[in-house]
Amino acid sequence: MVGTMHAWQAVERGHEVVQIEREAEARGASLRNFGQIWISGRAGGEELDTALRARELWERIGARVPGLGFRAIGSLTPVRNPRELAVAEAAVARPDAAARGYELVTAEEARAINPALRGTFEAALWCERDAAVEPRTAQPHLRDALRATGRYTFLPGREVREVVGTGAVRDDHGDVYRGDAVVLATGAWLSGLVRELVPDLPVRRVRLQMMQTAPLGEPLTTSVADADSFRYYPAYRSEALDALSAGQAQTPVAAAHKMQLLMVQRHDGGLTIGDTHEYEHPFAFDTVEDPYEHLTEVVESFLGRPLPRIRRRWAGVYAQCTDTTRVVHRQQVADGVWLVTGPGGRGMTCSPAIAETTANELGW
């Protein structure tokens, strides 16, 4: 998506773009994610500003490309006890709470917003600005719109292997491409070409497990998170969070896999549910069951009903700046060649704004 959004920005500004993709169809983090355009947990300042700008761009692009499935659905994070409630209260007291559309709602109000939440909880943090897109189909739809301009070519099944001069790269078929600018948006593929260009890249890889259910049979009108998400997102840092961390341990499975619940409904009615975080290499090559059992329990407690059958399980890897306060790693790596990677768990959200910043900085 980072590459595709750079293509979008360049084509919008009147340029011609060739997008080169190693796989027959993109298979990276951008289609394995939740499709959450996630404002709620972003750190105040540059990160929040980038996410809010990106949300505006997603909405605008979504109006032109309906296949993106942009939905301004907001999110609810149910809280189950006074400690979790205190973190939500601290969040709505932030000076930037209004920009995020934060509001603390009662359980009854939460059910009026999202009637599927028939389970047990005390109150919920509502974030009006959160939105969603359909990650599995977003890129093909964007590419169709780009192709229609007559100034865009997608070349799948070709790996960029080498920088061979100013604004010039060679692929693994031996073909050379020259442009006014080359953007390497290689996601979490940090070996090979990227390692040769930047041996000490300050970016690490993070692996996540995900699942998707059969259709729920009713709308889930908002995204849903659990209070474990408070522990991972900078927006929730507060004395109340310190008290939560000190006084209420995560369940052992959630702690072991650094888990939170995030959940969003897909167009077919199924629920995309995650996630875990794995930082140590070598990454597991298989998916493990315990996290799925934990997530099923949490979701069932919020919905007050059994979860539909799980139909798909997968893992994904994203690239994250080792200084996690940085929105992205953007670096000129050769004459006319820039590397843009490392947006971390917010890369889907921020990709349109990241591409816009590159375009502005490079004077496209």
Ligand X SMILES: Cc1cc2nc3c(=O)[nH]c(=O)nc-3n(C[C@H](O)[C@H](O)[C@H](O)COP(=O)(O)OP(=O)(O)OC[C@H]3O[C@@H](n4cnc5c(N)ncnc54)[C@H](O)[C@@H]3O)c2cc1C
Interface ranges with ligand X (CB under 6 A): 1-3, 20-23, 26-30, 32-36, 38, 159-160, 185-189, 193, 208, 210, 274-275, 316-318, 341, 343-349
> Could you tell me which of 299, 293, 229 has the C-alpha nearest to residue 264?
299
State how far the Cα of 234 lies from the Cα of 344, in Å rounded to an integer.
Answer: 13
From the CB of 210, what's the least distance to ligand X, in Å?
5
From the CB of 275, what's the least distance to ligand X, in Å?
6
State how far the Cα of 130 lies from the Cα of 356, in Å rounded to an integer.
Answer: 20
Residue matched to tokens 């907001």: 74
Query: Where in the chain does DSSP place strands (E)?
Result: 17-21, 36-37, 75-79, 102-106, 123-127, 131-132, 152-156, 160-165, 168-171, 176-178, 182-184, 203-213, 223-225, 262-265, 271-274, 310-321, 329-334, 337-341
> Could you tell me which of 180, 149, 184, 185 has the C-alpha nearest to residue 363?
180
From the CB of 41, what's the least distance to ligand X, in Å?
10
Positive/negative CA dihedral, 36, 40, 46, 47 = negative
Which residue is at the shortest CB distance from ligand X?
347
Which residue, 75 or 250, is less far from ligand X as judged by CB? 75
Using alpha carbons only, how large is the chain's radius of gyration in Å?
21
Which residue, 4 or 250, is less far from ligand X as judged by CB? 4
From the CB of 185, what's the least distance to ligand X, in Å?
5
From the CB of 86, what's the least distance to ligand X, in Å?
26
Which residue, 244 or 274, is less far from ligand X as judged by CB? 274
User: Tokens standing for 325?
Assistant: 């306060």
Which residue, 90 or 315, is less far from ligand X as judged by CB? 315
List, in order, residues 6 or more apart from 122 with CB less than 8 Å away.
78, 79, 80, 81, 84, 85, 107
From the CB of 123, what's the least distance to ligand X, in Å?
24
From the CB of 301, what's the least distance to ligand X, in Å?
22
Which residue, 1 or 353, is less far from ligand X as judged by CB? 1
Which residue, 32 or 143, is less far from ligand X as judged by CB? 32
Which residue, 270 or 316, is less far from ligand X as judged by CB? 316
State how far the Cα of 283 lies from the Cα of 313, in Å rounded to an integer.
Answer: 16
